[in-house]
């Protein structure tokens, strides 16, 4: 089953990072596809293999609803993983949806990320600067999904949030895809500075868009946000063949 090889990959990446810098900072995807993986990571052998006290969990994006709401990404991640493993509560960094729904959510999430990344040991090289002197966080691992329209996190085709060049998080007034809720999302500059990005997409559901997004000839000018994710580190696509 794909979840075991995916869980192996994540477990290995987290362990490598912790052995190098003593801490691993990852961002989880929302949606349905990663749920089985989160459940698997909460079970042996991964439950014991991952050093949860040295692991920090952020979200790649969120729907602006209370965590108890069925559409909450943090709620989902908490149900399947976070509440099932010995991770200290202070290592969990949900998107502060209670600050909005407004751009305040994105600003407060950026502050939360700054509080974390600015206090990581220097050797973890967790902050990087662009040519204009803007600082950006370096996530060790970002897990992403993709919609049939080529969106990823809550970066939708043609949305102004996709053009963000400076902020670490952005607010999306209303998602054009279900659930049609206000969203908050990591921005492209942050996704593209990660050490490792892993996309999970089901082949049966998303065959066409996967082909378009992975088409090298038009990737740089693509309208599909998922195609614009080209991290400084490694990029892995796990195309899931069900059954
Ligand atoms: C969200 C997600 C989103 C998701 C894709 C794929 O909050 O909706 O973060 O980017 O990854 O929509 O969703 P599925 O895995 O449910 O197909």
For the chain, 243 residues long, give each residue's pLDDT as a single digit of tens.
Answer: 799 999 999 999 999 999 999 999 999 999 999 999 999 999 999 999 999 999 999 999 999 999 999 999 999 999 999 999 999 999 999 999 987 778 899 999 999 999 999 998 765 689 999 999 999 999 999 999 999 999 999 999 999 999 999 999 999 998 999 899 999 999 999 999 999 999 999 999 999 999 999 987 766 667 899 999 999 999 999 999 865
Each residue of 175-203: b (16+ CB within 10 Å) or e? beeeeebbbbbbbbbbbbbbbbbbbbbbe
Q: Output phi, psi for 188, to 5 deg.
A: -60, -45
Q: Do 228 and 143 meet the contact criterion of CB atoms below 8 Å apart?
A: no
d(CA 179, ligand 1 centre) in Å:
10
List the strands of the sheet with 234-240, edge to edge.
92-93, 55-59, 24-28, 141-144, 196-202, 234-240
Please enumerate in sequence order all residues whose Cβ is within 8 A of that of 87, keeping only pairs 6 or more positions apart, or say none: 52, 53, 55, 57
- Which residues have a Cβ under 8 Å from the Cβ of 98 and sit 6 or more positions away? none
Q: Is the CB of 32 under 6 A from ligand 1?
A: yes
From 2, 3, 31, give the residue whose CB has the most ligand 1 atoms within 8 Å, as the site to mutate.
Answer: 31
DSSP one-letter code for 176: S
Residue nearest to atom 12 of ligand 1 (CA): 147
153 Cβ inside 6 Å of ligand 1: yes
Cβ of 148 closer than 6 Å to ligand 1, yes or no, is no
The finding on whether 33 has its CB within 6 A of some atom of ligand 1 is yes
């Amino acid at each position: 089953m794909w979840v075991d090889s995916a869980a192996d990959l994540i477990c290995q990446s987290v362990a490598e990072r912790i052995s190098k810098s003593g801490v691993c900072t990852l961002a989880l995807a929302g949606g349905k596809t990663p749920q089985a993986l989160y459940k698997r990571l909460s079970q042996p052998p991964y439950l014991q293999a991952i050093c949860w006290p040295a692991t920090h969990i952020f979200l790649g994006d969120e729907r602006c609803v209370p965590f108890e709401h069925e559409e909450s990404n943090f709620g989902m991640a908490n149900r399947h993983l976070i509440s099932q493993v010995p991770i200290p509560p202070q290592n969990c960094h949900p998107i502060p949806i209670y600050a909005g729904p407004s751009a305040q959510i994105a600003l407060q999430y950026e502050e939360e990320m700054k509080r974390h990344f600015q206090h990581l040991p220097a050797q973890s090289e967790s902050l990087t600067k662009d040519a204009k002197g803007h600082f950006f966080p370096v996530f060790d691992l970002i897990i992403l999904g993709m919609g049939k329209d080529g969106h990823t996190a809550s970066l939708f085709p043609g949305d102004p949030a996709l053009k963000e060049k400076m902020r670490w998080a952005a607010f999306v007034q209303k998602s054009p895809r279900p659930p049609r809720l206000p969203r908050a999302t990591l921005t492209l500059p942050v996704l593209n500075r990660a050490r490792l990005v892993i996309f999970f997409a089901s082949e049966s559901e998303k065959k066409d868009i996967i082909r378009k997004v992975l088409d090298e000839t038009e990737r740089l000018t693509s309208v599909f946000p998922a195609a614009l994710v080209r991290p400084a580190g490694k990029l892995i696509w796990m195309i899931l063949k069900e059954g």
